[in-house]
Amino acid sequence: MSLRVTLSRRLQGPPVALPAALDRCSEQWRRLPPRGRMAVGVLAFAVVLVGCELRIAQARDRWDGPPRRALIAVQDSAVGQPPQVRAVRLPPAMVPPDAPQQVGDDARLAFALPRGAVLTRGHLSARGPAAGLPSDLRVVPIPADPGWDIRAGGWVDVWALASSGQSTQIARRRPVVAMTADDDEPSALVGLAPGEVAAAVRGLADGQILLTHAPP
């Protein structure tokens, strides 16, 4: 038996029994003249339309206006790489004021850009990774053990390990602004105070520098 025949048979017969309230509404609807039905339909459509507009207005008020265009990262990108982004529309509160609308083919990142993050002009600053640091810090490359999973955006304590086996803490809770890898040997770009920079250089010359995870 074909689907068409089966469906035709099921559509035959008396009307389906409805709850009393719906049955009364159905009877009233059938009694309306054609123009009355059209008027009710137009009125219902207008009510739905006004309701949608009110919800949109409420959303705009909540997010300070209509959506704004922004560029978000489609994958994790390291310092020096071109930003891999796509255009989206986001609530204004989620779009930084320095978010660019487009990037050139020669653009390179001064900061690591994780997937889903909004691209800002700071990420493309010609000043490099130090662009977002406080003026009293300097960026210093320090070798990082791959097994410790040091990442850009994290915080570390910096230790000097002397050849004698003694350890000295050079800095506490310093930001990792980027990670680089030369010949498969990762280095963390760590923000240090000027006095800590000198101690780190001495530590690298005398023995080894160790980075440990720290809370921000």
User: Tens digits of per-residue pLDDT, 120-160?
Assistant: 887 886 666 666 678 788 888 888 888 888 888 889 999 98
Distance CA 124, CA 81 (A): 10
Distance CA 131, CA 125 (A): 7
Please list the residues that pair with 126 across neighbouring strands.
Answer: none
- How many CA atoms are closer than 13 Å to the CA of 5, on its beta-carbon side? 2
pTM of the entire predicted model = 0.47
Best CA proximity match to 171, nearest among 187, 186, 160: 160
Confidence label for 98 from pLDDT (cuts 50, 70 and 90): confident
Confidence label for 3 from pLDDT (cuts 50, 70 and 90): low
Best CA proximity match to 161, nearest among 116, 205, 210: 210
Mean pLDDT of the chain: 79
Q: 14 vs 8, 9, 88, CA distance in Å?
A: 13, 12, 53
Distance CA 112, CA 138 (A): 17
Domain 64-129 sits in CATH 3.90.1210: yes
- Locate the domains of the chain by residue range: 21-62, 64-129, 133-213
Please state which of the ranges 1-15, 95-109, 115-129, 166-180 shows the lowest mean pLDDT: 1-15
Share of the chain above pLDDT 70, in %: 80
